[in-house]
Structure 1
Amino acid sequence: MSPPANAVVFCVDEKSQCQALDRSQPVLPMTPGRPERQTHDYFRHGTTSLFAALNVKTGEVFGRCRRRHRAQDFLSFLRQLDAAVEREPGTEIHLVLDNYAAHKTAAVKRWFARHPDYRLHFTPTGASWLNQVERFFAELTNKRLRRGVFRSVPQLERAIRDYVDGHNADAKPFVWTADADLILRRVEAVCNETSNSGH
């Protein structure tokens, strides 16, 4: 919430298992007095995962689709992100991540050890909503994927890329509507629940 001066902060996460779904019947649009209607059954043509990094300062999203969701795919995404980030020498890059196992493998730790300008911040278990990129995923789902019809994975990936490009054309930073004290109290409550749950 208060990054160091001249630092770049990215909220990073994956939206895994995005499904290329095709309804068995066309979606019927809303008409006066009738809601939109769609069939309950569908054809599934495969899945993709979106790896995304949201720049906290600008609101821009760096996103890449991958067919798999493994540690090596996360590493590939990190390499692409590192190559794409424009920065002055010595600029720190802060990444906000969740506690997904792929973010903590030995290969990922080695990569970060070779890139000492990266600083990692993990959200508490059960509080991934703190990661601002989750808001972008919600918008992507609501505005592009939920009612979409995709007859192939490449068609789905093209729709995701187009949405990311459209978002970046008019990017705005995410603004918390709750004050910092309320957010920190919620995080503390989640941490207390987790530590007292016996897990």
Structure 2
Amino acid sequence: MTQSSCEKVRDVAGIYLNPPEAAIVLCVDEKTQVQALDRTQPIRPMVPGVPLRQTTEYKRNGISNLYAALNVASGKVITKMTVAHRAVEFIDKKAPKELGVHVALNNYAAYKTDPVRT
């Protein structure tokens, strides 16, 4: 049985406002396809009366994906950069097994896989 939108909002808000004891609550999002660009010429520094100058030409060095997780209790942000954007890159195998982990995610397909749910 699927939850209604209202029930989902109550669940997410409830876990933020009243997190379980001995559990980690994370709010996760990603920024995909961040272009790694490099200028073809060095940037010229500012000097009095002359603004910073840089060329508009750049070299493409591929793309990266940025994941960020906010630990709701501590306010600490955990980040991870990956080359691919799949479930296997998303999973952190170092997560403490003795603690419950509650994660708020969007509907990206990679998050719906069995390894991520586990």
Instruction: Name the TM tier (shorter chain).
Output: 0.5 to 0.7
1-structure distance, mates of 2:67, 2:74: 18
Query: Which has more helix, going by share of residues?
Result: 1
Q: Which runs of 5+ in 1 are unaligned?
A: 116-199
TM-score after normalising by structure 2: 0.66
Letter of the structure 1 residue corresponding to residue 95 of structure 2 = A
| RMSD over equivalenced CA pairs, Å | 2.5
TM-score after normalising by structure 1: 0.43
Larger radius of gyration: 2
Matched pairs, number: 102
1-structure distance, mates of 2:77, 2:47: 36
Matched, 1:69 2:70: no
Q: Is the 8 A contact 1:22 1:42 kept in 2?
A: yes
Sort the Cα spacing of 1:102 and 1:5 in 2 relative to 1 into closer, same or farther, 3 A. Answer: closer
Q: Is the 8 A contact 1:3 1:9 kept in 2?
A: no
Q: What does the per-residue CA deviation read over 1:92-138, in whole Å, with 9 as the maximum and x for residues that have no partner?
A: 3221212222222xxx24642xx4xxxxxxxxxxxxxxxxxxxxxxx
Sort the Cα spacing of 1:3 and 1:34 in 2 relative to 1 into closer, same or farther, 3 A. Answer: farther
- Report the alpha carbon displacement of residue 38 of structure 1 after superposing the two structures with TM: 1.6
Q: What does the per-residue CA deviation read over 1:156-184, in whole Å, with 9 as the maximum and x for residues that have no partner?
A: xxxxxxxxxxxxxxxxxxxxxxxxxxxxx
1-structure distance, mates of 2:114, 2:20: 25
Query: Which has more strand, going by share of residues?
Result: 2
Q: Which runs of 5+ in 2 are unaligned?
A: 1-15
